[in-house]
Structure 1
Amino acid sequence: MPLDPYQIASSWLQRYGNFLSSGDIHGAASCLQPDGYLRDLLVFSWNNRCVNGHEKIAAYLGTARELTSVRNMSLSSRPGLAPRLGGFHAMLISPVPDIVSAGFTFSCSIGSGQGYFSLVLTDPGEWKAVAVLMSLAEISGHEEWINEDGVYGGHTLAWTDVNTERCAAIEQNPHVLIVGGGQTGLNVAARFKHMNIPSLVVESNLRIGDNWRKRYPTLALHSPKKISEMSYQPFPITWPVFTPRDKIADWLESYVQSQDLVVWTDSRPLPNPTYDSATKRWTVIIERAGQHVTLTPAHIVVAAGALGAPKVPTIYNRDVFSGTIKHSSEYNGGKQFMGQRVVVVGAGNSAADICQDLSFNGAASVTMVQRSGTCVVACNTTRTLVECLYPDDIDVDVADFLMMAKPILLMQKAYGMMKEQFLEQENAMHQSLREAGLNLTTDKSIFWLAQQRYGGLDVGCAELIRSGKVKIKQGVEIAGFAENSVVFTDESFLEADAVIFATSSESIRDTMRGLFGDSTIDQTDAVWGLDEEGELKGVYRPSGHPGLWFAAGDFATSRFFSKQLALEIKAIDLGLLKL
């Protein structure tokens, strides 16, 4: 008899909901597999948690603030969330073919929520959840709005005058100061606007998008276009699959206008803002185009990315080197290195892009210095995966939610079960890279790598490595310089005219010490990477210092978690969350 996903999902949800509303924590835990995962985003605590196993789930639910108020659970009928059998999303969670997944909605004492679960049939014939996501969606009376009618004062007020007045009010007294006008800061600002949180963005560059324009000319997003959209504003249908540097820069600049965001360019906070615990306000001086402006926001969101100042190692005898030394953040194209011998330190995305660009522009030789193992995945593999996760027939916010329904630790476990199958399509490329001397690591899934930042997508450099046009120096670091060469830690040397350090950057938390001072930053948690539960560290969640937040990540991360950050700030303002 064919399985009925609606009937299976409905029966499970009713049982699970009854256990929660009655406060039966062990009953609720029993609705999951013995090693199942419960991921909670602001429902049972004002934080992100992901617990697995009956004992941990029951213990966590035993401390939940909203347990018995969770009621009115109902299956979703929205495309992408309605009950379904099998499918690509399910296969990412478990290789078992008979899996039923469904989205649902619920109410709680402070508002409404949404969730998602995936069920498998156990030996006794019961459907149990592999994973359950529960997420706070709205706070009652403070819901996110989408658009207004565009008619003001009964057709008596012009839009220009209305917008000018709104901007002036925010500039004089922003509730939130957002530091950084890249995609993260703008996603946060747009979300805050639609949650009625007055916010001002300050960006140090002269134009929005300059953080992209100043990078190397051949740079393009390695993620397909749908996953790289901004909140509320999809790309045109004619948009390229992988967005070039200048197109994304111009898009961000136009986004400020189309979303009516309040942004100051050529502006930056000056060191040592102070926080008054009595008034719960910051005092911060902004240098705006040479003028000083004092602001008193309740919150500061550092949205300058997870990566801070460029990280260039201190190396012996650097001053004796007669050639060029740059960090990858300063690299603006390979034409200036035509005919030169170039050493690129690093083996991630930026290093591979730079090596490819140098080779194309006629560098005499290009050598990639790889210090440790790197994961390399073909760009087409990633494109296929992402386009399955973000198909054209479902809205991007639904796709984001489905991604959140897959705990990273569970995805890593599933990857271990399907590793050989996944890597089979990469075998030819991986074999050629190993033969060329590259140290490859394949023990982590690409979902894990995306959050830990070690690895890269191949967009052409692998073929250059295979052919010998880009050489590999593996397992060493630069120990020192001579006039026309670099010396490695294995005491070998290589003649060089230029060295480019694609060595990432320090944590934005460390960079912010220069702005906030040690006493403030020492109160905050680590920023970026994954904690023991597979949740992002220190971003879009309380930092440890009141009124100070960090936001970082790719387009999809900031698009989804900007809503969570808005809910947290709104909850503080309403007295629901006390830090």
Structure 2
Amino acid sequence: MLLNRGSGAEASLAEVVAFWIFKFNSARRARDPAQALTELFSSDPWWRDHLALTWDLRTFHTLALILDFLRETLERTGCGPFCLVSNSVQLVQMGGQISFVYASFTFETNYATCSGGLKLLPGPRGQWHAWNVYTRIEELKGHEQNLRRLSLRDTQVDTDFDVVVLGSGQCGLQIAAASKAIGMRVLIVEQNGRLGDQWRRHYDSLRLHLPKHHSQFLYRPFPPSMPLYPSKNDIADFLEHYAQVCNLNVLCSSWIQNATFDHDSETWVLDVRHRHRSSSRIRTGQLVFATGILGSSPTTLDIPDKSSYPGCVLHSVQYKSGSGWRGKRAIVVGAGTSGHDIAEDLYSHGADVLIVQRSSTAVVSKKLAIMYFAQHYPAGSSPDNVDRALESTPVLLNRQLAAAAAGFMEQVDAPLRAGLARAGFLFTDPDAAQMLYGRFGGYYVDTGCSGLIIEGKIKLKADIPIMSFTQRGLRFADGVEAPAELIVFATGYDTGTMRALAIQLVGPEIGGVLKEPWGMDEEGEVNAVWRNSGHSHLWYHGGDFKAARYYSKLVALQILATKLGILDRYQS
């Protein structure tokens, strides 16, 4: 949290940061820049760059890697001096264990205006050293963002676009808006008949477990009437509203049948099918797959003897409501967010519910979640500024900080953890990177289901493999048969769907060079989403609300830089 300080302390901190920035700018001109720069960093430094110096999403850890990166990029990019942003200096304390000074700065390169963040730690003899530096592109010179473009309707009927986006969820709409705001012509292709239908089709009780301040969109905030925890229909309706007020060009009830890349013109030729009219052909310089974090292919379990079971078997994507299951027995397989939500919904409608936990789950209380979001996204704060502050910390460093804060989290959630442990629940500590970029599940912000499990109102069977269906339900490895009239598999989705869809459309030759979108590389950055997909004219875009908001601008700027011929990625 931020520490209270008087004006004198503020001035002193500002002088500390200003002096460090002065020394950094001077070190670049020194006779021995490496030696001069070495003196400015801590013993365990990190530098995270988002396009400003590398035209990539990169993290450099260790002084040697940082010095190599700076030696190769500062001159090549024409990086100008860092300039401290007024009134940006603050002293930050984390969990009572780590204190650092944080400040923002700006600078320019040959092609762009950029921003950054700086975390300084106190050292011996009163010196301050950089622990974590963050640099990020903001605008391309001569192609600055102009939000008035979002107020203009695209009345020109055309078949040529700079960008075609597949999908109209939070990622598809925001990358389209970000691209339009910097002057590109964009078309969104959506297979559903109505914007927001991808949300409307989910189970009726679905609502966000995180507050609306975290889930805001680029350029157009939620209306004041939006509930603190929006429902699925609230989000679906806002997607429609957002496309309208940003004047986005959307083709609903349409899908791309195939995509052919013309190497001579460096454009895609897309054959588009429409549900209510004849097919069409369009051309685009860039193709963006914004088809959802998990795509649309449910993950199913191969359990023997399914044909012997006469009851109802659903995947969570097919489940709507527990209203028809009063007095019936239900099994929910899966203990992530959807599994908990569906189990609670069935219980609330009078069903006798068993939840099957196949692997450990990270559970945090609503109290802890509220504390986190009140600190990072307080009412009235700019999500854009908060996103930058949060993204400034490398993913792997965040893991270390989370470990430092684990004691505080355990203290706050001690009653919840103890109760779940007594119930036999398999608990794991949260790992945001793995949950959001790898597993895409295995976590739950408790909105009530944990209490029902602790009280025994929802039964739990944990870490006992399912062996087979039976005529009455499911049989487990311990020999126990669990009877049920309904079995819901809340087992997630196939994370390879986005790449599989791309290969299906572009064919095996280009598909063969495409990278796996998700997972993390050795630097802790996501494999290929928001960055090089393996093909210079094809992009993956996905993520939660914060990722959609933050990375849409970065993807749009990479697309524009590709069009202008200035995207030159740093290869270390």
Q: TM-score, normalised by structure 2?
A: 0.92
Aligned to 1:315: 303
1:11 aligns with 2:19: yes
1:20 to 1:323, Cα distance in 2 relative to 1, 3 A: farther
How far did residue 45 of structure 1 move? 1.4
| Structure 1 residues 155-166: aligned runs within 5 Å | 163=153, 165-166=155-156
| 3-state SS in 2 of match to 1:165 | coil
Task: Select which of 539, 543, 551 maps to 2:541.
Answer: 551
Deviations 1:279-302 (A, max 9, x none): 211122111224211112111101
1:91 aligns with 2:100: no
1:149 to 1:286, Cα distance in 2 relative to 1, 3 A: closer
1:408 aligns with 2:411: no
How far did residue 26 of structure 1 move? 5.0
Structure 1 unaligned residues grouped into runs of 5+: 151-161
Rounded to whole Å, the distance in 1 between the matches of 2:252 and 2:182 is 23
> What is the identity, as a one-letter code, of the residue corresponding to 2:539?
W
How far did residue 552 of structure 1 move? 0.4
Aligned to 2:211: 224
> What is the identity, as a one-letter code, of the residue corresponding to 1:32?
F
1:370 to 1:575, Cα distance in 2 relative to 1, 3 A: same
Rounded to whole Å, the distance in 2 between the matches of 1:163 and 1:449 is 39
Rounded to whole Å, the distance in 2 between the matches of 1:323 and 1:482 is 10
1:329 aligns with 2:317: yes
| 3-state SS in 1 of match to 2:108 | strand
1:486 to 1:149, Cα distance in 2 relative to 1, 3 A: closer
How far did residue 7 of structure 1 move? 0.6
Shifted more, 50-59 versus 422-431: the winner is 50-59
**Alpha carbons 1:95, 1:414 under 8 Å: kept:** no
1:338 aligns with 2:326: yes
Rounded to whole Å, the distance in 1 between the matches of 2:255 and 2:21 is 50
**Alpha carbons 1:212, 1:248 under 8 Å: kept:** yes
How far did residue 254 of structure 1 move? 0.8
**Alpha carbons 1:66, 1:108 under 8 Å: kept:** no
| 3-state SS in 1 of match to 2:117 | strand
How far did residue 447 of structure 1 move? 5.8
How far did residue 203 of structure 1 move? 1.0
Q: Kindly tell me the number of residue pairs found equivalent between the two proteins.
A: 554
Task: Select which of 511, 517, 526 maps to 1:536.
Answer: 526
Rounded to whole Å, the distance in 2 between the matches of 1:100 and 1:320 is 64
> What is the identity, as a one-letter code, of the residue corresponding to 1:110?
Y
1:320 to 1:559, Cα distance in 2 relative to 1, 3 A: same
| 3-state SS in 1 of match to 2:26 | helix
Identity of aligned pairs, percent?
30
Rounded to whole Å, the distance in 1 between the matches of 2:433 and 2:373 is 11
> What is the identity, as a one-letter code, of the residue corresponding to 1:133?
Y
Deviations 1:89-126 (A, max 9, x none): x527x8333x2110010011112100001111012321
**Alpha carbons 2:499, 2:516 under 8 Å: kept:** no
| 3-state SS in 1 of match to 2:94 | helix
1:83 to 1:448, Cα distance in 2 relative to 1, 3 A: farther
1:386 aligns with 2:373: yes
How far did residue 498 of structure 1 move? 1.6
How far did residue 472 of structure 1 move? 1.4
How far did residue 25 of structure 1 move? 4.3
**Alpha carbons 2:305, 2:468 under 8 Å: kept:** yes
Aligned to 2:5: none
How far did residue 43 of structure 1 move? 2.0
Deviations 1:47-73 (A, max 9, x none): 111111111212222332655722132
1:367 aligns with 2:368: no
How far did residue 578 of structure 1 move? 5.8
Rounded to whole Å, the distance in 2 between the matches of 1:165 and 1:342 is 53
How far did residue 178 of structure 1 move? 0.4
> What is the identity, as a one-letter code, of the residue corresponding to 1:574?
L
How far did residue 538 of structure 1 move? 1.4
How far did residue 252 of structure 1 move? 0.8
Rounded to whole Å, the distance in 1 between the matches of 2:69 and 2:568 is 20
> What is the identity, as a one-letter code, of the residue corresponding to 2:146?
W
| Structure 1 residues 506-521: aligned runs within 5 Å | 506-507=494-495, 508-512=497-501, 513-521=503-511
Rounded to whole Å, the distance in 1 between the matches of 2:513 and 2:44 is 35
Task: Select which of 56, 63, 66 maps to 1:57.
Answer: 66
Task: Select which of 488, 497, 515 maps to 1:525.
Answer: 515
Aligned to 1:158: none
**Alpha carbons 2:102, 2:118 under 8 Å: kept:** yes
Aligned to 2:127: 126
Rounded to whole Å, the distance in 1 between the matches of 2:307 and 2:225 is 50
> What is the identity, as a one-letter code, of the residue corresponding to 1:246?
N
| 3-state SS in 1 of match to 2:284 | coil
Aligned to 2:555: 565
**Alpha carbons 2:77, 2:110 under 8 Å: kept:** no
Rounded to whole Å, the distance in 1 between the matches of 2:396 and 2:45 is 11
**Alpha carbons 1:304, 1:552 under 8 Å: kept:** yes
Aligned to 1:494: 482
Aligned to 1:237: 224
Rounded to whole Å, the distance in 1 between the matches of 2:35 and 2:512 is 39
> What is the identity, as a one-letter code, of the residue corresponding to 1:120?
L
Rounded to whole Å, the distance in 1 between the matches of 2:344 and 2:169 is 26
1:230 to 1:59, Cα distance in 2 relative to 1, 3 A: same
**Alpha carbons 2:55, 2:568 under 8 Å: kept:** no
1:245 to 1:324, Cα distance in 2 relative to 1, 3 A: same
How far did residue 419 of structure 1 move? 1.2
Structure 2 unaligned residues grouped into runs of 5+: 1-7
Shifted more, 111-120 versus 467-476: the winner is 467-476
Rounded to whole Å, the distance in 2 between the matches of 1:489 and 1:519 is 45
1:518 to 1:368, Cα distance in 2 relative to 1, 3 A: farther
Rounded to whole Å, the distance in 2 between the matches of 1:574 and 1:164 is 22
Task: Select which of 320, 345, 349 maps to 2:337.
Answer: 349
**Alpha carbons 1:322, 1:483 under 8 Å: kept:** yes
Rounded to whole Å, the distance in 2 between the matches of 1:339 and 1:286 is 48
Deviations 1:356-387 (A, max 9, x none): 00100111x21111111111011231122122
Aligned to 1:112: 113
Aligned to 2:142: 141
How far did residue 231 of structure 1 move? 0.6
Cα RMSD after superposing both structures: 2.1
How far did residue 394 of structure 1 move? 2.9
Aligned to 1:153: none
| Structure 1 residues 190-209: aligned runs within 5 Å | 190-209=177-196
| 3-state SS in 2 of match to 1:577 | coil
1:409 to 1:164, Cα distance in 2 relative to 1, 3 A: closer
Rounded to whole Å, the distance in 2 between the matches of 1:173 and 1:144 is 22
> What is the identity, as a one-letter code, of the residue corresponding to 1:501?
F
Aligned to 1:155: none
Shifted more, 52-61 versus 136-145: the winner is 52-61
Rounded to whole Å, the distance in 2 between the matches of 1:228 and 1:487 is 41
Q: TM-score, normalised by structure 1?
A: 0.91
How far did residue 459 of structure 1 move? 0.7
> What is the identity, as a one-letter code, of the residue corresponding to 1:38?
W
Rounded to whole Å, the distance in 2 between the matches of 1:48 and 1:175 is 23
Aligned to 1:289: 275
Q: Which runs of 4+ in 1 moved over 6 A?
A: none
> What is the identity, as a one-letter code, of the residue corresponding to 1:463?
G
Rounded to whole Å, the distance in 1 between the matches of 2:378 and 2:550 is 17
Task: Select which of 266, 270, 277 maps to 2:263.
Answer: 277
| 3-state SS in 2 of match to 1:326 | strand
Rounded to whole Å, the distance in 2 between the matches of 1:74 and 1:65 is 15
